[in-house]
């Protein structure tokens, strides 16, 4: 009947006979007549693979954005992905398997995720890491909830320099569960407002969530913040860019208690926002409060090393309403992607990615300041691979006009000023492309401004 269903009429008849049913209708006996659908579904198809190919290729072509030279970041980056990554992910052994419920028949998934957890923990400078969350933003929200489980205060503070999308996700999760979010504003210099922070901490809180580097790319030492938060009895939750961690002091070293982040930059295609992969690492003593799956090392009957899902009593299928989270299916294949990517790039490769992102973004900013009269950086602090630039024209209008010239110039951040554009250059952006961006921005700003 279709290319995905093997049994044919004669076989179905024989099967129905075997179970003593006269026809398929007999099997529907438990369904009241009133709920049975008495018509065919109103759906398109069926289409052959060749027609499907034509239709999908046509739709893909209308996604003109995929061909624009990308200077947008904001939590999703246009990185180079070695071909070997997809070779491994395309193994049906990995991508068609279920959650590793039968450990002895799932050592491939289990060991690779154990390796993933190890890499994430080392990158974050933490003792443990879990097997992945849906994305960075939901990982941050789950970290906030985790902090509440640990500290039992119903309020979590969030730095105003956090990615606004992430802030909305944290708000949604916490609001609906009956908890409170306090936003700590930043001052004109781009720094967290110390007084506001002090004041908010006074009121009692379980954790402060801070991004590192922050949404605007700024890098501040986390250590003083960690000390302050700890001295007030809270946990420090750091939302980190994993690429930055190859270059910057690890949050663990600075005193963070929980580190979360978005793994997209580690080998995952942009794909209009998903599937991505949230990571979460923490101090070991918090293990039992952690949401999500954890893979642990153990031995088999013969003493050989093997891996299993562990601390399952935290999870919904065992603990039900007392579970540390409702997460079940996570982003395992994306976590494997991160793992393989990090293994391929390795110690020096990932450092080099970080270095090039840093250098290329700095060069981009420099060239824009050279080319575009009246352009300025919004803040004057050290930044990593993302920068807010103030242009002499509406950020949104400039972005749109630049798209016509083949560039996605960045993300408008009107909150920082009408002309503010957040931009980022990865290792993929060549000098030519960067120069092209800067040289096109100048006339575009003039056009748009008038």
Ligand X SMILES: Cc1ncc(COP(=O)(O)O)c(C=O)c1O
Residues that bind ligand X in the complex, under the rule CB under 6 A: 328-329
CB closer to other proteins out of 133 and 229? 133
345's contact among other proteins, a copy of itself, ligand X, none, with CB below 5 to 8 A by partner kind, is other proteins
Tokens of 261: 């982040």
CB closer to a copy of itself out of 11 and 90? 90
Contact 131, 295 (CB under 8 A): yes
Question: CB 143 → other proteins: shortest distance, Å?
Answer: 14
Question: CB 279 → other proteins: shortest distance, Å?
Answer: 12
Cis before 46? omega within 30: yes
Taking Cα atoms as reference points, which of 94, 117, 111, 104 lies closest to residue 287? 117
Beta strands in 303-419 (DSSP E): 305-310, 376-377, 387-390, 407-408, 411-412
Question: CB 330 → ligand X: shortest distance, Å?
Answer: 8
Question: What track of x and - describes contact with a copy of itself for positions 389 through 428 (by CB under 8 A)?
Answer: --------------------------------------xx
CA distance linking residue 382 with residue 357, whole number of Å: 14
CB closer to other proteins out of 95 and 198? 95
Residue 1 burial (CB count, 10 A): 10
Under the criterion CB under 8 A, does residue 46 sit at the interface with a copy of itself? no
Question: CB 202 → other proteins: shortest distance, Å?
Answer: 26
Under the criterion CB under 8 A, does residue 95 sit at the interface with a copy of itself? no
Question: What track of x and - describes contact with a copy of itself for positions 101 through 140 (by CB under 8 A)?
Answer: ----------------------------------------
Q: Given candidates 90, 298, 313, 359, which one binds a copy of itself under the rule CB under 8 A?
A: 90
Under the criterion CB under 8 A, does residue 431 sit at the interface with a copy of itself? no
- End-to-end CA gap in the chain: 62
Contact 106, 311 (CB under 8 A): no
32's contact among a copy of itself, ligand X, other proteins, none, with CB below 5 to 8 A by partner kind, is other proteins
Q: Given candidates 65, 82, 189, 224, which one binds a copy of itself under the rule CB under 8 A?
A: 82
Tell me the window of 81-89, 139-147, 335-343, 403-411 that interacts with a copy of itself (CB under 8 A). Answer: 81-89
Question: What track of x and - describes contact with a copy of itself for positions 223 through 242 (by CB under 8 A)?
Answer: --------------------
Residue 36 burial (CB count, 10 A): 9
Question: CB 219 → a copy of itself: shortest distance, Å?
Answer: 26
Contact 237, 148 (CB under 8 A): no
Under the criterion CB under 8 A, does residue 189 sit at the interface with a copy of itself? no
Question: CB 366 → a copy of itself: shortest distance, Å?
Answer: 23
Question: CB 260 → other proteins: shortest distance, Å?
Answer: 12
Helix axes 107-124, 332-371, angle to 10 degrees: 40
Alpha-carbon torsion, ordered 358, 360, 363, 364, to 10 deg: -110
Classify 188 as helix, strand or coil: coil
285's contact among other proteins, ligand X, a copy of itself, none, with CB below 5 to 8 A by partner kind, is none
Under the criterion CB under 8 A, does residue 355 sit at the interface with a copy of itself? no
Q: Please give the backbone phi and psi of residue 226, each rounded to the nearest 5 degrees, phi first.
A: -60, -45
Contact 214, 240 (CB under 8 A): no
Residues 6+ apart with CB under 8 A from 180: 154, 155, 156, 174
* Pure H helices in 133-180: 136-151, 164-177
Chain residues that interact with a copy of itself, rule: CB under 8 A: 49-50, 80, 82-83, 87, 90, 92, 427-428
């Amino acid at each position: 009947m279709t290319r995905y269903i093997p049994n044919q009429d004669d076989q179905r008849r024989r099967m129905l006979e075997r179970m003593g049913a006269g026809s398929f209708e007999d099997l529907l006996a438990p369904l009241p007549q009133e709920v049975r659908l008495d018509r065919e579904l109103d759906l398109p198809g069926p289409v052959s693979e060749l027609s499907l190919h034509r239709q999908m290729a046509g739709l893909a072509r209308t996604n003109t954005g995929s061909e624009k030279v990308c200077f947008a970041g904001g939590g999703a980056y246009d990185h180079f992905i070695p071909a070997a990554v997809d070779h491994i992910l395309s193994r049906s052994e990995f991508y068609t398997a279920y959650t590793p419920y039968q450990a002895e028949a799932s050592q491939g998934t289990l060991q690779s995720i154990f390796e993933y957890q190890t890499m994430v923990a080392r990158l974050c400078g933490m003792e443990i890491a879990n097997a992945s969350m849906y994305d960075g933003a939901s990982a941050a929200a789950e970290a906030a909830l985790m902090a509440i489980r640990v500290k039992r205060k119903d309020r979590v503070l969030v730095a105003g320099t956090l990615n606004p999308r992430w802030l909305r996700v944290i708000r949604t999760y916490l609001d609906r569960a009956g908890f409170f979010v306090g936003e700590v504003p930043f001052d004109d210099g781009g720094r967290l407002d110390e007084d506001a922070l002090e004041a908010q901490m006074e009121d009692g809180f379980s954790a402060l969530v801070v991004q590192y580097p922050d949404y605007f790319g700024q890098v501040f030492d986390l250590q003083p913040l960690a000390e302050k938060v700890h001295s007030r009895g809270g946990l420090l939750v750091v939302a980190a860019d994993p690429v930055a961690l190859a270059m910057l002091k690890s949050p663990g070293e600075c005193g963070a208690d929980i580190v979360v982040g978005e793994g997209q930059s580690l080998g995952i295609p942009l794909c209009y926002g998903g599937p991505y992969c949230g990571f979460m690492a923490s101090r070991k003593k918090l293990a039992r409060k952690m949401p999500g799956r954890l893979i642990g090392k153990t031995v088999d009957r013969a003493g050989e090393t093997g891996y299993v899902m562990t601390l399952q009593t935290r999870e919904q299928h065992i603990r039900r309403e007392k579970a540390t989270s409702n997460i079940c299916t996570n982003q395992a294949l994306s976590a494997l992607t991160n793992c393989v990517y990090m293994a391929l790039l390795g110690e020096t490769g990932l450092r080099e990615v970080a270095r090039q992102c840093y250098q290329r973004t700095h060069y981009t900013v420099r060239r824009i300041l050279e080319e575009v009269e009246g352009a300025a950086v919004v803040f004057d602090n050290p930044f990593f691979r993302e920068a807010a630039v103030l242009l002499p024209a509406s950020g949104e209008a400039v972005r749109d006009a630049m798209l016509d010239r083949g560039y996605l110039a960045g993300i408008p951040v009107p909150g920082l000023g009408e002309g503010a554009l957040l931009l980022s250059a990865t290792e993929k952006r060549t000098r030519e492309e960067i120069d092209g961006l800067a040289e096109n921005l100048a006339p575009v700003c003039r056009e748009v401004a008038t």
